[in-house]
Amino acid sequence: MTMRIPPKQPALFQEGEIAALDPKLARLMQICGIELLPPVHTRQVALSQIVVPGEALVKPSARFTRSIELVGIRQPPSIAFESGSAWDGPDASYVVVMGRRRIASARHLMTARDDARFQTIKCEVYEWNAPRLNAFLGLVENEQRAASWVADVIRLRQLIREGVAMTLDDLKVYGFHAKTIKGRLDIALLPNALLDQICAGTVSLEVAMQITRLKEAERERLDALAQDGEAITPELVKSLLRRQVNQGLISVQGTVSQMWTTLATENQVPSSLPSFSQATQIPVATESSSVATVLTLLKQFEPQTQSNAALQRVGMLTRVLIKELEIVLCTDSLTTQEGETSHV
């Protein structure tokens, strides 16, 4: 008589009564919309029965594949029953939960090098498929791997589409690096036309992050281009960023001009906004109070440039002008002191 080995709980979770009482696990199950965790079994599965979503985007390094070839798959991938007569039936097909690179490497070794060792591989098999849980576990697996960012975005996109209410605080509780996952989430929230190209692997992480820094008007412009079939290129995104910066400069110029006009009314200085050289050549003997007022206004304005990416260049120019005016005031002070001394 063969003794049936009871199914295990997934390795990510604690077992037995402790798991039932773990608030993190309870919260995760609530988020994923499941009342029970799928039982899991360790068994040999034919590689032909395993589906890797987005396998074309999975590109294990040569070194990783070489290590699989030399020592085999040391950590069994996790897969979930997707279709067939039963989870352990001969017609069953499975979807990868964790271990996409391991399975992709095994498939490469089996097909390209005719390595019969990988016709079947040992897997942790979930009796039923929980797509939300799978997406979350895939994020857990890839969180520390920078090259996995597209897969992360795909999984986050799936969670968002299914209406999973998971906050950044929730993700941090489960061990995600806050800054990393925030960037991935910002990308996953982009419009579908942009996401389609990103998830297809045609857009670099750097360009994707630049897209998230576009303001609404420029992002809508890019989305419209993508819907019309335009390829998202680094040059296109940079041109929109430059356009955004230029719009910001126009806004700043208007603000500074208004400030200068107000200053002119109050202190009888020229109403037109002077150039850099003009601003630093105000007659110090008669206009030192005006220079001090301008300096005060610029110091009040400069912090705003630090919190607005579009104003970074303006911020640098503002700081230079502040330094120049401080030199003017310092020179004025020294000149006054020398004049007073000459009369003694």
**Number of CB atoms found within 10 A of residue 241's CB:** 18
Longest dimension (CA), the chain: 117
Q: 3-state SS string over 71-126?
A: HCCCCCCEEEEEECCCCCCCCCEEEEEECHHHHHHHHHHHHHCCCHHHCEEEEEEE
Q: Residue 326: its pLDDT value, please?
A: 77
Say whether 146 sits in a helix, a strand or coil: helix
- Of 185, 150, 189, nearest in space to 57 by CA: 150
pLDDT given for residue 88 in this prediction: 93
Q: How many Å apart are CA 131 and CA 223, to the nearest integer?
A: 28
Q: Rounded to whole angstroms, what are the CA distances from 262 to 258, 270, 271?
A: 6, 11, 8
pLDDT given for residue 152 in this prediction: 80
From 193, 173, 198, 196, select the one nearest 183 (Cα to Cα). Answer: 198
Convert 290-307 into a string of H (helix), E (strand) and C (coil): HHHHHHHHHHHHHHHHHC
- What's the pLDDT score for residue 306? 78
* Lookup: tokens for 222: 């890019």
Say how many C-beta atoms besides its own lie within 10 A of residue 49's C-beta: 17
**Residue count of the chain:** 344
- The predicted structure's pLDDT at residue 167: 73
Tell me the helix, strand and coil percentages in the chain, rounded to 5. Answer: 65, 10, 30
- pLDDT score, position 157: 85
Look up residue 253 and give its two tokens: 């110029």
Which residue matches tokens 């996109």? 157
Residue linked to tokens 């017609």: 91
What tokens were used for 251? Answer: 């806004």
Predicted pLDDT at 1: 46
pTM for this predicted structure: 0.42
Q: What angle (nearest 5°) sits at the alpha carbon of residue 123, between those of residues 67 and 151?
A: 70
Q: How far apart are CA 60 and CA 133, in angstroms?
A: 24
Residue-level pLDDT at 288: 53
Pairing of strands 78-83, 120-126: parallel
**Which tokens go with 63?**
């070194």
Mean pLDDT per 10-residue run, the chain (344 residues)? 50 41 72 84 95 82 85 91 93 93 92 89 93 78 61 83 74 69 88 90 88 90 92 91 73 61 53 44 47 78 75 74 74 48 34
